[in-house]
Amino acid sequence: MRALARIVAEADGRGGTRLARLRGEPPLQLRHTPDGSATATVHLIGSAAGPLGGDDLRIEIEVGEGASLCVRTVAASIALPGRDGALSRTTVTATVAAGGELRWLPEQLVAAAGCLHQATSTVELAGGARLLWREELVCGRHDEQPGDAVVSTIVDYDGAPLLRQSLTIGPGTPGWNGPAVLGGARATGSLLLVDPEALPGPPVVLADTAVRMPLSGPATLVSATAPDAHVLRGFLDV
């Protein structure tokens, strides 16, 4: 299955944000869920199980100057194997103009046994843009080993590289669960905050398996591993 979802957010001229475009294709359904704030909130609703092996799902986001957009999902995504062992893909591309803000706060990605999944996110931020970007990966459903999954994130700020991050898990990757990678943890994730007005702080150890680090730009990154999704969210909640 191939599907495209596209969101375009623009400043409405009255201190708020309007959705100039909100378009989805099954299984990527989009719903505007206003909360009375100046930020436009959109929920992504999966109308079918998956991503399933062979699926190619794309999400495109554009935030204009002075606009504020929050994107959430109503449930976790479960990467499932296809009958022929084909790769499934989820690709997210986002651009944020100067003075714009994007908050990407989906629920977890679960790599179910037997899956072969690739998740790639690319974000381009203009100077003065703000970003809150959360990613969480759970290694298998309850009491099962995960399939193979690759989660990659690329973020540029004002034309310069800000973050390059990639994680590969599953039986096809030797050592993925060893002490140099997840160390037996069942869940892992990160929370990236880009704010040109925030002062950079020193590295902070949040727990034995969680740390907050400044990046070489107006950004900080929280990285964590945990025994389950609930504990992980405690490190990455906002």
- % of the chain residues with pLDDT over 70: 100
Burial class for 142, CB neighbours closer than 10 Å (0-12, 13-18, 19+):
exposed
Kindly report the average pLDDT of the chain as a whole number: 95
Cα-flanking dihedrals φ and ψ of residue 185, to 5°? -70, 145
Residue 205 carries which side chain, given as an amino acid letter?
A: V
- For residue 65, give Cα distances in angstroms to 85, 97, 234: 43, 5, 32
Pairing of strands 210-214, 204-207: antiparallel
Phi-psi region of 227 (alpha: psi -120 to 50; beta: other; left: phi over 0): alpha
Q: What contacts 85, CB < 8 A, 6 or more positions away?
A: 53, 116
Q: List, for residues 136-173, the tens digit of each pLDDT value.
A: 999 999 989 999 999 999 999 999 999 999 999 999 99
- Asked if residue 52 lies in contact with residue 82, where contact means CB atoms within 8 angstroms, the answer is yes
Residue 83: pLDDT band with limits 50, 70, 90: confident
pLDDT surpasses 80 at 49 = no
Sketch the domain layout of the chain as residue ranges: 2-193
Give every CB contact of residue 6 below 8 A, 6+ residues apart in sequence. 21, 22, 23, 24, 59, 60, 61, 62
The answer to whether 53 touches 84, Cβ cutoff 8 Å, is yes
pTM of the full structure: 0.95
Segment 196-219 shows an average pLDDT of 92
d(CA 219, CA 198): 8
**pLDDT given at position 219:** 96
Given a cut of 80, is residue 50 above it in pLDDT? no
Q: Residue 134's pLDDT band (boundaries 50, 70, 90)?
A: very high
pLDDT digits (tens, 9 = 90+) for 17-45: 999 999 999 999 999 999 989 999 999 99
Distance CA 115, CA 172 (A): 11
| Model pLDDT, residue 144 | 94
Across 203-231, average pLDDT: 95
Question: Taken in order 63, 69, 73, 78, is the CA torsion positive or negative?
Answer: positive
pLDDT of residue 48 exceeding 80, the answer is no
The pLDDT value recorded for residue 106 is 97
- In terms of Cβ atoms closer than 10 Å to its own Cβ (0-12, 13-18, 19+), residue 165 is middle
- pLDDT for position 52: 92
pLDDT value of residue 8: 98
